[in-house]
Chain A
C-alpha cells in the first residue's frame, strides 16, 4: 500500500512540475515560436520572422529550379519561392501532400515559403526554457538549429531563419 501511495505522490509531483513548467511569469522574457512537424520531427521558427501561414494548395515547379526549392506559389498576387526544408535539413523527402502548410518567412526585404507537414502551435515560451542545441546534433541540422526546447514532452529544434536565408542565398549564387 505504501508503495502505491509513493507512486501516487510521485505522479502528483510530476503533474505539479508540468503545471509549473507551463506557467509563464509576466516579467519573464519570452520568445514567440511557430511549432511545426517536418519528416516526423518537431521544429520551430521564431514567430517575429514568420510573415504568414497558408494552407498548401498547389506549387508550380519550373524547370531549372534547384532541388532546394519545392517550387513557386502566389501570395497576395506576388510570386514567391518555397524552400524545400527537408532537403536543407537532410530529412527523408516525399511528395507534398494536401493538408500541409506553407510558412512564409521574412528576412530583411525578402520572403521565402517553407513547406511543413503540419503546424502544431503558435505560442510564447520563456527564453529560459530554450537550451543550446545538443552537441550530438547531426551536421546538416546543426547548421540551422539555434536552440531546443520541450513541447508536450517532445524535443523541438528552434531554427534560425537568418541562417536559412543565408544558405539559400549562398547556394543560389553558384
Chain B
C-alpha cells in the first residue's frame, strides 16, 4: 500500500494534497479571476465559475495573483473548487506510515487545524496534508477561505 501526495507551495508555506483527490491542474490565468469586494474569490473555468481557497493568512488582493502559477482543481461536496498555487514541487509516494503523522491529540475535534488531515514529516519538514472535506467549510480565523 502506498500513499501519494502532490507537494506544492502557496507563497512561503508548503502543503500536500492526496494525488487521488486532484481533479485537474490548470495553468493560472489572471484574466479568469472574478473579484468580490476587491478580493479574488472566483475563477472562470470554461463555462463555470468556481470558488478559490487561498491557503494563506494574508488578505489576498489582485496584486498577489501575479505570483500564482497553477490552479489545483478538486471536488468537494459535488462542487469543483480551486487552490491557487505559487509553485508545484513534486509527487511523493510513501510506502509506510512512518513518515506520516497524525495531527497532535490536543487539536483533534477542535477547529484549530481542522483543515489538516495529517502531516508529512520528511527531512525535518512538517507539511500539512489538506483535508478537502473541511477546507472550504472551516472558519479558521486567520486562514482565508471563501
Contact = CB atoms under 8 A, between A and B. Distances in A.
A78 B101 contact: yes
Interface in A159-174: 168-169, 172-174
Contact of B56 (A57, A60, A63, A66): A63
Contacts of A72: 104, 119, 126
Contacts of A64: 57, 112-113, 115, 140-143
Nearest to B140: A64
Given A60-B125, A79-B101, A79-B121, A172 B142 contact: no
B124 interface: yes
B124 A79 contact: no
A168 B106 CA distance: 9
Interface string A44-63: 00000000000001101111
Chain B, interface SS category: loop
B128 interface: yes
Contact of B113 (A62, A110, A112): A62
Contacts, number: 74
Interface residues of A, number: 26
Contacts of A58: 124
Given A79-B103, A172-B110, 18 more contacts: A58-B124, A62-B116, A63-B55, A63-B57, A63-B142, A72-B104, A74-B126, A77-B121, A78-B101, A79-B101, A79-B102, A79-B104, A79-B121, A111-B104, A111-B106, A169-B110, A172-B106, A174-B111
Interface of B: 13, 55-57, 98, 101-107, 110-113, 115-116, 119, 121, 124-126, 128, 140-143
Interface of A: 57-58, 60-66, 72-74, 77-81, 109-112, 168-169, 172-174
23 contacts: A61-B13, A62-B113, A62-B116, A63-B56, A63-B143, A64-B115, A65-B112, A72-B104, A78-B101, A78-B102, A79-B101, A79-B104, A79-B121, A79-B126, A81-B106, A110-B105, A110-B106, A169-B110, A172-B106, A172-B107, A173-B110, A173-B111, A174-B111
